[in-house]
Structure 1
Amino acid sequence: MTSTNSRRRAGVSAKTLRRLERASGRMATASVAAMEEQLPWFGRLAADQRASVLLITQNGAAGFVEWLRNSTEALRFTTEAFRDAPMELSRWISLRQAVALVRLATEVFEQQLPEFAADEAEQATLTEAILRYGREIAFAAANSYAAAAEARGAWDARLEALVVDGIVRGDAEESVLSRASALGWDPAATATVMVGAPTSEDPPTVVFEVRSRAARIGRPVLHSVQGSRLVVVVGGPTDGTAKERSILPKLATAFAGGPVVAGPTVPSLAEAHISATEALSGLRAVVGWPSAPRPVRSADLLPERALAGDPEAERLLVEEVAKPLEDAGPALLSTVETYLETGGVLENCARTLFVHPNTVRYRLRRVADLTGRHAADPRDALVLRIALTVGRLARARGIW
């Protein structure tokens, strides 16, 4: 390393270094003039932004002279040349544009440097040096932009966690919507909340798992790890076509083993707290259904949620099952109750009611049309039984 530096210092005379130092401002100005001429977007920058580019270019030119004097500290000089880049450039110039500026400045320097050389040997040394220095500047710029991107990514992660936390807690929707909009979320898009266990205790690993799967299915997501649970907000419809119905099962693979519960799909992010409340209620109650699918909808866990003391589940069971049967008349209600009490045996139910088995079949089809639950299905039979029980208790308490 020492011999290389000695050769480089020996290759450029002190007189040449002084001339380069005096001409650094002129070369920087020539570089900016070339940028204005060859880069159309550069001329559209504001005056103060172009002045900032000129200042950074001047710092880079001065750093080149110092780099020639002491190349062992090249990294420090190149870093200092782009010391203000994250604060200045990354706000209004992309990394690709910054690299274009560095390349053009290097070309201008390469064209003008030979006139300061004392002989052909110095010309070759200066040409090699500016190419090396330009490479170092390009890497320094990339590092600066990478640091700025990491800082923005960390801020976005904190902002995303605030949005998800606001949804879970049911905060004022305006603050949630404004923060979500800052993250690029469409507030008018439908939303579904999923909850389960995270795959890892390392947040970056969880972020990668969720984001990679969301990218594969082309859906926007907001997510946050809250202690031992992972909360994911999925944008877009999740019912209807086969492709839409496959969205939640594909995202469920981003969760650890165990139950994953999805709340109802709501019209917009403003109502996402409803989906979150039901999903969390389902997560607390899903242990009561060991064979539940993964993911399972919170609406499919109404019996377990009601047994766990969820008043919303009780209300839904009454409104969706018990009350429609009550309003349909005593015949349907008595048929369902008798069918369940006789163990789901059609003939026994018909004998108890003194009707033909076909009458029982007809009434059970009417029940399925009214409630969406068929008493012959074991799971639906449980829902009907719990709903009727909850309805009786609600009537006894004077709630219904």
Structure 2
Amino acid sequence: MRQAGPVSEADEKAEAEKADEKKAHVATVRRLEQSSGKLAAAAISRMDEQLSWYRAMPPENRSWIGLVAQAGIAAFIEWYRHPDTPQAISTDVFGTAPRELTRAITLRQTVELVRTTIEVVESAVEELAPPGGASSLRNALLVYSREIAFATAQVYAQAAEARGAWDARLESLVVNAVVSGEADESDVSRAAALGWNTPEHVTVVLGSAPNGDSELTVEAIRRAARYAKLQVLTGVLGKRLVVIAGGSDDPVQAAKALIGPFASGPVVAGPVVGDLLAATRSAQAAAAGLRACAAWPDAPRPVLADDLLPERAMAGDPAARRLLVEEIYRPLQEAGSALLETLSVYLEQASSLEGAARMLFVHPNTVRYRLRRVTDVTGWPPSDVRSAFTLRVALMLGRLADADSGI
């Protein structure tokens, strides 16, 4: 019972301290409310003095930033009024500004905006807090600064996710249009919105997509493209990984730079074309080459679609058949019957100069000269086994075309 007196005095002292703290807290909140407009104006004035990017902004965006500063101070006052109540700071502060503001100012600029506003409030702590309350207000401001920093990061992360999802849909539309042969000017505009700067040289690379998250595959392609200084539009369509690559006039080199994320199996690079609309032709050639790769098990990886012309022709690709006739058979035909006849006999005589010379009743040097002319005209040397196969298929298709036309 003797301890009852001292305990009661301690309780009374504690209650008195709590009452004083509550009065100081209420007084601080009142002062903050009375000074909120002045603090916001001071924050905007300091931004105008210290932040060059703020001064250069159009009036509309500056007004939105001013509202954000005012909302930040108002949110701090409300948060300080009820510090133990969970509150959605990001909604209180950034909800007043349109979503487009995250595109108008960068995350770094937003951090500078928040820092400037907090510094203005912190510089006025001694004036805002009643006697003995400055330390409490300063500590509260420190905690609030941490919360507003996390809220800022959340806003920009959500905006980045939304833009990323939208950009992914746009990119998928462009890639699908190019592969399906339906690309038009609207797809060029979509590609421009994705950062495609209309490179002069464009090629399409096709192969199998790896198992797993397609977004990881797409990101791996982008990393490889940045390292190789290529522009890319890419996507996974079904089981295929499609890459539209711009910036290199060597399709094999571009394909080698991007081949890492592809799954095992053939990778085919279409011919180089001049722009995104013409990339449809490159994509169709690459797709036909990918289907025909099974007929050439020893094909290099990556392989040019044009190097698969005979296999593509046998697989029923009309474009390959047309190219073989127009780029090999017709030029030989126009160069004179001697070249066609010599090439035909040479191929049928197991690539023997002497045998072809005997069949043609000419000197072997004459055969050698004519075969060099064949290389000059077509770009395919008959002495190479692979080229000889391509030339043989071209001759067959050319004769069939002549027969169909009645020549």
**Alignment-derived partner of residue 15 in structure 2:** none
Moved more, 63-72 or 282-291: 63-72
Q: Displacement, 1:211?
A: 0.3
- The C-alpha deviation readout for 1:178-234, integer Å capped at 9, x for no partner, is 111222212352211111112234121111110010010111111121111111111
**Alignment-derived partner of residue 103 in structure 1:** 115
**Alignment-derived partner of residue 311 in structure 1:** 318
**Alignment-derived partner of residue 8 in structure 2:** none
**Alignment-derived partner of residue 389 in structure 1:** 396
Checking the alignment, whether the CA contact within 8 Å between 2:89 and 2:151 is kept in structure 1 is no
* Identity fraction in percent: 49
**Alignment-derived partner of residue 287 in structure 2:** 280
Q: How many residues align structurally?
A: 389
Q: Which of 263, 269, 276 lines up with 1:262 in the alignment?
A: 269
Q: Which of 97, 102, 114 lines up with 1:90 in the alignment?
A: 102
TM-score, normalised via structure 1 length: 0.90
**Alignment-derived partner of residue 160 in structure 1:** 171
**Structure 2 regions of 5+ residues with no counterpart?**
1-17
1:44 aligned to 2:56? yes
Q: Distance in 2 between matches of 1:381 and 1:358?
A: 19
- The C-alpha deviation readout for 1:138-178, integer Å capped at 9, x for no partner, is 22112211211121121111111111122122225311211
Moved more, 251-260 or 31-40: 31-40
Q: Distance in 1 between matches of 2:152 and 2:96?
A: 10
- The C-alpha deviation readout for 1:62-119, integer Å capped at 9, x for no partner, is 2212322333445523542223456153132211111111111111100112212222
Q: Closer, same or farther in 2 for the Cα pair 1:78/1:303, shift >3 Å?
A: closer
Q: Which of 382, 398, 402 lines up with 1:375 in the alignment?
A: 382
Q: Quick check: which has more Rg, 1 or 2?
A: 2
Q: Distance in 2 between matches of 1:185 and 1:78?
A: 34
Checking the alignment, whether the CA contact within 8 Å between 1:222 and 1:234 is kept in structure 2 is yes
Checking the alignment, whether the CA contact within 8 Å between 1:191 and 1:269 is kept in structure 2 is yes
1:237 aligned to 2:244? no
SS at match of 1:184: coil
Checking the alignment, whether the CA contact within 8 Å between 1:95 and 1:145 is kept in structure 2 is yes
Q: Displacement, 1:271?
A: 1.3
Q: How does 1:159-238 map to 2 (within 5 A)?
A: 159-171=170-182, 173-187=184-198, 189-238=200-249
The residue type paired with residue 39 of structure 1 is L
Checking the alignment, whether the CA contact within 8 Å between 2:325 and 2:394 is kept in structure 1 is yes
Q: Which of 292, 297, 302 lines up with 2:304 in the alignment?
A: 297
**Structure 1 regions of 5+ residues with no counterpart?**
1-5
Q: Distance in 1 between matches of 2:38 and 2:227?
A: 52
TM-score, normalised via structure 2 length: 0.89
Checking the alignment, whether the CA contact within 8 Å between 2:252 and 2:269 is kept in structure 1 is no
Moved more, 213-222 or 356-365: 356-365
**Alignment-derived partner of residue 3 in structure 1:** none
Q: Distance in 1 between matches of 2:100 and 2:336?
A: 75
Q: Which of 321, 339, 354 lines up with 2:361 in the alignment?
A: 354
Q: Closer, same or farther in 2 for the Cα pair 1:35/1:384, shift >3 Å?
A: same
Checking the alignment, whether the CA contact within 8 Å between 1:114 and 1:126 is kept in structure 2 is no
SS at match of 1:13: helix
The residue type paired with residue 329 of structure 1 is G
